[in-house]
């Protein structure tokens, strides 16, 4: 019997995502000037205020106020009427030294024996449902908001948008788990004030359906375009007026959008957030590693869908266990347990080797902090960082290394494919 599945996304201007982006900008700046920095920093944003807290072990000193303001400005909070504005918001920092009790469990004289920065379990997922091996509902939810942000910055076809927004996509599947159609789309977008609320609602709904949706649809391949039809139920700003938004409308905190950050409810999640953590924290690095594994397994033809779990004890390098679930889609004559043992033989999941394999000790995290950490484009970019002492660092870094299909040949050889 057909069934429905839903995923949501939030924009870069959503208060929780503002917090994530500030935290990851701090991570990038610490790593740019000291690759061995150990950082766990949290951000809280609210009306006119930013609070920074966390633990750091680093040789560098940062102008955290400037970094935070630059992020807020880039997102688009640049007007006083937003009640949260880059130049005027207050910024309080309570960042202090990392606990030596934690640090002694991570650092080792032999770097290869580096212990996990915390206990816990991390999950990675991949499916051949889309070209980027991501769940379709989440992929579409992200695309809607990326295009909405583009329209906001262009400020031409739609000229009243503010930075805060959310999306949600519900897809109908058949019994063979193939998408049939889009059942509903929800878009809630912050906007400038209008004189007439009824007029405002009608215009926003018309613009979203006649401008945003066609732009997103046109970017998709033909078979996905057919999922859009005139039977879609649209909920556009369903509560009505949405002028008050962003950190003035809701307090934002680092790490509160972990399902948006990963797989939109498909697969599983271990509970640990990513943003604000350096790669010694396996909450982040092992989640990237398991995504890398799952994606390469699916791309190699081991299964149509794969969920990978790894778990750690704090201060211990070797994982407690590796688990693989192919959801009954395996194309090899092996049990999931046997597949997991082969995965352990191919991919070294000790923290140091994850960092080295995925080049995680580089300032690559700001780009992850909005529109998902997974399913993104692997590319090399140049970035410039400005130190508090006037030092300038120009670096070439590789983004989203965990999205590379660089182990497909090795996986095929191991599995005889």
Q: Is 166 annotated as a binding residue?
A: yes
Alpha carbon of residue 311 to chain centroid? 21
- CA atoms of 118 and 311, how far apart (whole Å): 10
Q: Is 256 annotated as a binding residue?
A: yes
Q: Is 313 annotated as a binding residue?
A: no
Residue that the structure tokens 């410039």 belong to: 384
3-state secondary structure the chain: CCEEEEEEEECCCCHHHHHHHHHHHHHHHHHHHCCCCEEEEEEEEECCEEEEEEEEECCCCCCHHHHHHHHHHHHCCCCHHHCCCCCCCEEEEEEEECCHHHHHHHCCCCHHHCCECCCEEEEEEEECCCCCCCCHHHHHHHHHHHHHHHHHHHCCCCCCEEEEEEEEEEEEECCCCCEEEEEEEEEEEEECCCCCHHHHHHHHHHHHHHHHHHHHHHCCCHHHHCCCCCCCEEEECCCCCCCCCHHHHCCEECCCCHHHHCCCCCCCCCCCCCCCECCCCHHHHHHHHHHHHHHHHHHHCCECEEEEEEEECECCCCCCEEEEECCCCECCCCCHHHHHHHHHHHCCCCHHHHHHHCCCCCCCCHHHCCCCCCCCCCEEEEEEEECCCCCEEEEEEEECHHHCCCCHHHHHHHHCC
Q: Is 203 annotated as a binding residue?
A: no
Q: Is 376 annotated as a binding residue?
A: no
Closest CA to 22 of 81, 121, 95, 117: 95
Q: Is 342 annotated as a binding residue?
A: no
Q: Is 277 annotated as a binding residue?
A: yes
- CA atoms of 283 and 119, how far apart (whole Å): 9
Q: Is 241 annotated as a binding residue?
A: yes
Q: Is 281 annotated as a binding residue?
A: yes
CA angle 241, 189, 223 (to 5 degrees): 135
Q: Is 16 annotated as a binding residue?
A: yes
Closest CA to 12 of 198, 200, 183, 245: 245
Q: Is 165 annotated as a binding residue?
A: yes
Q: Is 257 annotated as a binding residue?
A: yes
List, as residue ranges, the binding site for ATP.
14, 164-166, 241-242, 250, 256-257, 273, 277
List, as residue ranges, the binding site for K(+).
42
List, as residue ranges, the binding site.
14, 16, 42, 55, 98, 164-166, 241-242, 250, 256-257, 273, 277, 281
List, as residue ranges, the binding site for Mg(2+).
16
List, as residue ranges, the binding site for L-methionine.
55, 98, 250, 281
């Amino acid at each position: 019997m057909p069934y429905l599945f839903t995923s949501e996304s939030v924009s870069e201007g959503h208060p929780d995502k503002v917090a994530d982006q500030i935290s990851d900008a701090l991570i990038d700046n610490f790593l740019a000037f000291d690759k061995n920095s150990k950082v766990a920093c949290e951000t809280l944003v609210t009306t006119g205020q930013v609070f920074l807290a966390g633990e750091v072990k680093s040789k560098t000193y940062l102008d955290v106020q400037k970094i935070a303001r630059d992020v807020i400005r880039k997102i688009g909070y640049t007007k006083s009427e937003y009640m949260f504005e880059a130049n005027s918001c207050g910024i309080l920092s309570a960042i202090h030294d990392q606990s030596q009790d934690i640090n002694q469990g991570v650092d080792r004289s032999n770097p290869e024996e580096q212990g996990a920065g915390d206990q816990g379990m991390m999950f990675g997922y991949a499916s051949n449902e889309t070209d980027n091996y991501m769940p379709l509902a989440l992929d579409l939810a992200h695309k809607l908001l990326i295009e909405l942000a583009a329209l906001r910055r262009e400020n031409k076809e739609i000229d009243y948008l503010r930075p805060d927004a959310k999306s949600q996509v519900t897809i109908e599947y058949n019994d063979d788990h193939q998408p049939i159609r889009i059942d509903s789309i929800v878009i809630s977008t912050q906007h400038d004030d209008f004189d007439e609320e009824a007029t405002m609602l009608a215009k926003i709904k018309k613009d979203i359906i006649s401008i945003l949706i066609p732009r997103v649809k046109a970017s998709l391949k033909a078979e996905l375009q057919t999922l859009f039809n005139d039977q879609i139920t649209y909920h556009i700003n369903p509560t009505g007026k949405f002028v008050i938004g962003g950190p003035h409308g809701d307090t934002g905190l680092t790490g509160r959008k972990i399902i948006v950050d990963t797989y939109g409810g498909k697969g599983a999640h271990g509970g640990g957030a990513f943003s604000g953590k350096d790669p010694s924290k396996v909450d982040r690095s092992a989640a990237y590693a398991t995504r890398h594994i799952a994606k390469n397994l699916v791309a190699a033809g081991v299964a149509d869908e794969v969920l990978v779990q790894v778990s750690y004890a704090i201060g211990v390098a070797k994982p407690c266990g590796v688990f693989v679930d192919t959801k009954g889609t395996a194309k090899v004559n092996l049990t999931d347990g046997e597949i997991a043992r082969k995965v352990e033989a191919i991919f070294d999941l000790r923290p140091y080797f994850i960092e080295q394999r995925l080049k995680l000790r580089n300032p690559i995290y700001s780009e992850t902090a909005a529109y998902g950490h997974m399913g993104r484009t692997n590319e090399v970019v140049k970035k410039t960082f400005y130190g508090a002492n006037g030092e300038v660092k120009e670096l070439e870094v590789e983004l989203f290394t965990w999205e590379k299909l660089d182990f497909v040949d090795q996986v095929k050889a191991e599995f005889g494919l």
